[in-house]
Chain A
Amino acid sequence: MANLEVLIERWRAGDERAAEAIYNLHRDRTFRLAFALLGNTEDAEEAAQDALAYALLNIVHFDEKRSQFTTWLYMITVSRSRDVLRKRRVSSFSLTEWLRSHRSPFDPHPGPEQKAEISEMRHTIWDAVQSLNPMLREAIVLRHWGGHTYQEIAEIVGCPMKTAQSRVRLAHQKLAQTLSETDLQQIAEETL
């Protein structure tokens, strides 16, 4: 983390190599957060690129005393992902877009080995998460994938901590409702 602080300082002083290093450090995780929130690679790349560019451009506004760099970056990523979702809602209906948005992340070019590897249950859980309301999805992704505390989730999504807690709990209840009894039974059996 000390390394990141040095990089931030160097970038603030105008060293572009430091900016590149910060970018490379956070590229994959920023993309994955956007991917989990948006459900497809193309939109996730757009949101993540925007978020990283914004964060680097506005590095002077980042206050390390107030939050960690990743928390700040994720806050921007969530915001950019919401913008993409908003655009998606207002854009006119397109069959190819619809097909793309309903495509599973495994679809692009799955090889036979990959196909065998990915369980049906994983598809089911992913679809269930993607069908959640965006606010609940943000909460559950940040909790499970990001491993963030409720306080951090609240900061990232911009809500009180109690609300963040409720969203995580509600998201889980919705997931339990969406996943059928059979799915849950399968999960339990595989776990036990």
Chain B
Amino acid sequence: MKTNHLDLDSLTGYIYYTLDDATREGIDVHLLNCPTCRGRLTEQELKQRKISEELNAVIRQATPSNRMSFAAISNRLQIRHPFRLFWGRLVLSTPLALAGVGLLLAVLGLWQFLEVRTLSTPSQQLGTFPTLACFLFMLASVEEFDKTFSIRSRFIITILVAGILWLGSVFIGLLNIIVIRDLAILATVAFGGKAVEAGPVAILAVMVAAMFYIGVVIGGAEYHYRNVGQPNSWKLFSITLLVQLFILILPYLIL
């Protein structure tokens, strides 16, 4: 300790109180016995105080122009009138409402598929609920594009919307696999294959789709977790949902 002088990192940490107690005490002991480091510490403190003073002087000197006045924003504050306040809150909660209704429709779609299996065309068994749900999810993600997540009041709404969109895309993804399976069967028959051959083709299609699905679900979850509330996260949701919507309406386009 006597020969090893303190480095800049330790000195800066000491000045800014960012070191833990043990390290700080160690430095205190060293400083008691080392005039060189005491001198360097004083010098650093003075430099940093000077930097602080000069920075403050520049910032204090800055003054806003006359354009920056209360009158310039008073129009925006009219939103506090009861009707506008109601409208503002409605707009704020629109993505959440869209996503919530979408999730309900997706669950209904899945339930309908499991319960009602009487329609002749397999993919049409899915009905319109999932398609509508996917469309609502997309609207919700697009709605969120320009919202600022850093504002605390939006934290809960943003996290809820992102969570519902992820869950919704997981549901829709399952339905997408069903559609892909059906399309594989139809394609095999349409290209002259026998009904017996359609089975293995369908299994292969489901396996490929399932692998892709798992990748998207896990990768997407990690990406959205890291970027929740950021424009890129909403963009990825929109792209994913657009692809899912396309797969859902594919049977209607083909058949």
Contacts and interface: CB of A to CB of B under 8 A. Distances in A.
Contacts of B50: 187-188, 190-191
A184 B47 contact: yes
Chain A contact residues (Cβ within 8 angstroms of B): what range? 35 or more
Interface stretch (B8-16, B25-33, B186-194, B237-245): B8-16
A144 B55 contact: yes
A122 B64 contact: no
A188 B12 contact: no
Contact of A31 (B48, B68, B77): B68
Contacts of A190: 50
A28 B153 CA distance: 24
A14 to B, nearest CB: 7
A41 B62 contact: yes
B197 interface: no
B51 to A, nearest CB: 6
Contact of A145 (B48, B49, B59, B64): B59
A19 B77 contact: yes
B77 A57 contact: yes
A57 B79 contact: yes
Contacts, number: 137
A31 B60 CA distance: 10
A48 B153 contact: no
Interface in B23-47: 43, 46-47
B13 A169 contact: yes
Given A125-B54, A187-B47, A45 B74 contact: no
Interface in B167-211: none
Nearest to B150: A79
Most chain A CB inside 10 Å of its own CB: which residue of B12, B54, B79, B148: B54
A44 interface: yes
Nearest to A168: B16
Interface in B50-96: 50-52, 54-65, 67-68, 70, 72-74, 76-77, 79-80, 88
B64 A31 contact: yes
Contacts of A58: 151, 153
Interface of B: 8-9, 12-13, 16-18, 43, 46-52, 54-65, 67-68, 70, 72-74, 76-77, 79-80, 88, 148, 150-153
22 contacts: A14-B80, A31-B62, A35-B59, A35-B62, A45-B64, A52-B73, A54-B151, A57-B77, A57-B88, A58-B153, A76-B151, A122-B58, A125-B51, A145-B55, A165-B18, A166-B18, A168-B16, A169-B16, A175-B51, A187-B50, A188-B50, A191-B46
CB-CB nearest 6 A-B residue pairs: A79-B150, A61-B153, A165-B18, A53-B73, A31-B64, A144-B52
